[in-house]
Amino acid sequence: MGRIPIREILDGSLEGRRVEVRGWVYRLRRLGGKVFVVVRDGSGSIIQCVLDKVTAEKFADEVDRLGIEASVVVEGVVRSDPRAPGGYEVSVSRLEVVGESHNFPIKGGEGIDYLLDNRHLWIRSRRLTNVFRVKDTVLRALREFYRKDGWWEVTPPILTMSAVEGGATLFPVDFFGKKAYLSQSAQFYLEVMIFSLEKVWAITTSFRAERSRTRRHLYEYTHFEAEAAWYDMYDMMRVVEDSVKYIVGKVLEERSGELEFLGRNIRPLEIAADEKYPVITYEEAIEILQRKGMNVKWGDDLGADEERVLTSEFETPFFVVKFPKELKAFYMKEDPDDPRVVLGFDLLAPEGYGEVVGGSEREDDEEKLVSRIRAEGFDLGDYEWYLDLRRYGSVPHSGFGLGVERLVMWIAGLDHIRDATPFPRFRDRLYP
Ligand code: 4AD
Ligand code: MG
């Protein structure tokens, strides 16, 4: 029989069969002439492979070359053994060391700084392996959903000439002697493209020079964004809700072993996959927070603390809509019924996680847009092309951005966003 992923062996149906396992040495122990090699592979699982005395002697040269994280090929018969991790082990008849590894730098118990310095090796940990398997499914489900639903994938640039989300978080770059910026959001390019394709989406890397270091901010993150002509804010919220439900459903269906390894309580995810997401206004959010004893008033921003308190009111993800204009980006459409607020929405994940999606209906009135751009202190000349969209066949439209690592953080139940991305950047560390 050919090469088998460890996770499949642990499913149980291969008992008594001869298998080949390829992987890396996770643990190594010798006991009374026997050798116990626990092997991990890309399936995020481990299996104990046992060389009895005779086999250990036969493969003595190979056994001598074993070390933690050596890559190996092991052949043997699957046996059930309640003492083995996962309940099965491989009774080895052949061992081959492919790549030796001696004195692997991570031994367990190291601090976070050391681990981040060795991220290229730490990435092999079972925990991160399981997280990135969940992330793959999140990304795949996102793409699946939007393909099925008749949207077009497009490829906006990362090098940009103007701010989308305010000047404070821009990363400048030198573009042949001119100042350019790393993209904060592909939104404006997506807005351009709805005039031909109508419903578009993109996955790009967004950059934010965030001032404060928090557990839910990255300087570089994976941004899923969608934009559609003829959609009002509520149309777009429905798409957001349906797609998040679809993703959570897919992860529950396909990544239950990974969630279990990560210790994730799946009940909140089951609820999120099924139940309707409530909608509250910003004003109602403020009232809830005041009732809960928080010192906030209309006009204050909802930070991580406020969001955490709000999430304790809901079992599912929920929307907060209609924020004061001053709190939101200039492109959000003014509410025709209340000019103090904009038709913007955030989707907050429950269990304390908070914002995972931000979106809005877009301002399509050229004059209002111009005065908002001026109020931001931006140079109008930088936005002429954006204003053109309001001059030539303007159309009501809406869009949103979803932080993929934020979503993975919640779904996988992580307490820090850095583990939802393979190579997180920090101010004092641009490595590896
Ligand atoms: O709310 P934001 O800033 O909205 C926009 O960028 C819009 N232009 C998107 C659009 O309408 N096309 O960012 C969208 C999402 C947030 O809800 C959050 O999930 C994520 O991007 N995000 C971050 N994720 C990780 N680290 C950061 N520093 C993030 N900043 C935003
Ligand atoms: Mg936001």
pLDDT at 212 over 80: yes
Q: Structural domains in the chain?
A: 6-99 (2.40.50.140), 119-420 (3.30.930.10)
> What CA–CA distance (Å, rounded) separates 331 from 344?
10
Write down the H helix ranges in 200-340. 233-254, 256-261, 267-274, 282-291, 304-311
Residue given tokens 């204003």 in the structure block: 387
pLDDT of residue 42: 93
Confidence of residue 421 (pLDDT cuts 50, 70, 90): very high
**pLDDT for residue 213 is more than 90:** no
Whole-number Å distance, alpha carbon 322 to ligand 1 midpoint, is 17
220 CB near ligand 1 (under 6 Å): no
Alpha-carbon span 55 to 124, nearest angstrom:
29
> With contact defined as beta carbons under 8 Å apart, do 212 and 236 qualify?
no
185 lines ligand 1 (CB under 6 A): yes
Q: Is the Cβ atom of 357 under 6 angstroms away from ligand 1?
A: yes
| pLDDT tens profile 300-340 | 999 999 999 999 999 999 999 999 999 999 999 999 999 99
Task: Write the DSSP assignment of 14-63 as a string of letters.
Answer: TTT-EEEEEEEEEEEEEETTEEEEEEE-TTS-EEEEEE-HHHHHHTHHHH
> Whose C-alpha lies nearest to ligand 1, atom 14?
401
Res 166 pLDDT > 90: no
For residue 182, the 8-state DSSP code is E
424 lines ligand 1 (CB under 6 A): no
The verdict on the CB of residue 165 being under 6 Å from ligand 1 is yes
- Could you identify the atom of ligand 1 that is nearest to the CA of residue 169? 28
Cα–Cα dist 353/311, whole Å? 8
Strand arrangement, sheet containing 178-182:
159-160, 178-182, 172-175
- Ordered alpha helix ranges (H), 65-199: 112-117, 119-122, 126-148, 187-197
Chain mean position to CA 161: 27
Beta-carbon contacts of 172 under 8 Å, excluding residues fewer than 6 positions away, are 179, 180, 181
Q: Could you tell me the two tokens for 40?
A: 């991990």
Residues 331-350: tens digit of each pLDDT = 999 999 999 999 999 999 99
Under 8 Å between Cβ of 65 and 79: no
Cβ proximity of 97 and 70 under 8 Å: yes
The reported pLDDT for the residue numbered 2 is 74
206: pLDDT strictly greater than 90: yes
Q: Which residue type, as a one-letter code, is found at position 284?
A: E
The answer to whether the CB of 390 falls within 8 A of the CB of 176 is: no
What is the percentage of the chain residues whose pLDDT exceeds 70?
Answer: 100
Cα of 358 to ligand 1 centre, how many Å?
6
Tell me the pLDDT tens digit for each residue of 66-101. 999 999 999 999 999 999 999 999 999 999 999 999
Which residue's CA is the closest to the ligand 1 atom numbered 17? 357
Burial class (CB in 10 A: 0-12, 13-18, 19+), 257: middle
So what's the pLDDT on residue 353?
98
Alpha carbon nearest to ligand 1 atom 4, residue: 358
**Nearest residue to 76 (alpha-carbon basis) of 56, 61, 103:** 56
| Residue ID of nearest Cα to ligand 1 atom 20 | 403
Nearest CA to ligand 1 atom 29: 217
Q: Are 100 and 65 in contact (CB under 8 A)?
A: yes
Nearest ligand to the C-alpha of residue 218? 1
Specify burial of residue 203 (Cβ count, 10 A radius: 0-12, 13-18, 19+): middle
Farthest CA pair distance, the chain: 85
Res. 1: pLDDT tops 80? no
Residue 38 token pair: 């626990």
> Whole-angstrom Cα distance, residue 377 to residue 74?
65
DSSP 396: -
Q: Could you tell me what percentage of the chain is helix, strand and coil, using 3-state DSSP and rounding each to the nearest 5?
A: 35, 30, 35
What rounded mean pLDDT belongs to the chain?
97
Checking DSSP bridges between strand 397-403 and strand 354-361, what pairing results, if any? Answer: antiparallel
Place of tokens 């790009």: 204
Please report the atom of ligand 1 found closest to the CA of residue 331: 8
pTM across the whole model: 0.97
For ligand 1, whether the C-beta of 345 sits within 6 Å is no
- At 432, list the tokens: 């590896």
Residues 6+ apart with CB under 8 A from 353: 216, 311, 406, 409, 410
* Band (46; pLDDT cuts 50, 70, 90): very high
Whether ligand 1 lies within 6 angstroms of the CB of 363 is answered as no
185-211 mean pLDDT: 97
> Is the distance from CB of 317 to CB of 349 less than 8 angstroms?
yes
Lowest mean pLDDT among 207-216, 383-392, 403-412: 207-216
For the Cβ of 222 lying below 6 angstroms from any atom of ligand 1, the answer is: no
Spatial distance between the Cα atoms of 141 and 135, rounded to a whole number of angstroms: 10
